[in-house]
Amino acid sequence: MASLHFQHKKRRKISLTPTPWDSETLYTYKLLRALRRDNPIAGNQVRAAADRVLAATAKAPTRWTRAILAKPNPLPRFNHKKVKKWSRNRNALMKNRAEIPRTLAPIQKKTRLLRRLIPGCRKLSFPKLLQEAHHYISALQMQVGAMTALSHLLSAAPIGFPSPTFL
């Protein structure tokens, strides 16, 4: 009887995130395409395009990527709010004020601030908020690196010199 020998192949470790260089070059390429397509005039338009491209380039669909991509107009609008006139009497206001705690613990203040900073995470539990913050910070670090490299590349080119074809 012939003996059967099975060859065991080593399993490749599959990483969830690609190498930073690959995602950074992909982000840079998509950012340049978006900037050329939109032809932004103001700095906030560049930032909005950079945020949209960052959310689209992110591999894992997280809350902050969905929040950025779901915005119909990512540019801030300056709507003036009307001043409300209070119709309640003073006793009702004082009664409600007594029920609300005046100060929050420092960790609660920082958590509230973190929830406001990360798009789409205002009503998230604390452990999930930390995961989202970790992913958002790593994406922002990649964005800063790519935009720094892009600015160095564009500032080093002579004024009348055409841009490279791969950009």
Return left, alpha or beta for 78; rule: phi > 0 is left, psi -120 to 50 is alpha, else beta.
beta
Show Cβ contacts of residue 104 under 8 Å, excluding neighbours closer than 6 positions. 112
Tokens of 21: 């260089």
What does pTM read for this prediction? 0.63
pLDDT averaged over the chain?
76
Compare 13 and 28 and report the one with higher pLDDT. Answer: 28
Show Cβ contacts of residue 126 under 8 Å, excluding neighbours closer than 6 positions. 111
In angstroms, rounded to a whole number, what is the distance separating the alpha carbons of residues 115 and 89?
A: 34
pLDDT at 58 over 70: yes
pLDDT band per the 50, 70, 90 thresholds, residue 59: confident
Kind and range of the H or E run holding 114:
helix 106-117
Burial class (CB in 10 A: 0-12, 13-18, 19+), 6: exposed
Tokens of 146: 């790519």
pLDDT at 127 over 90: yes
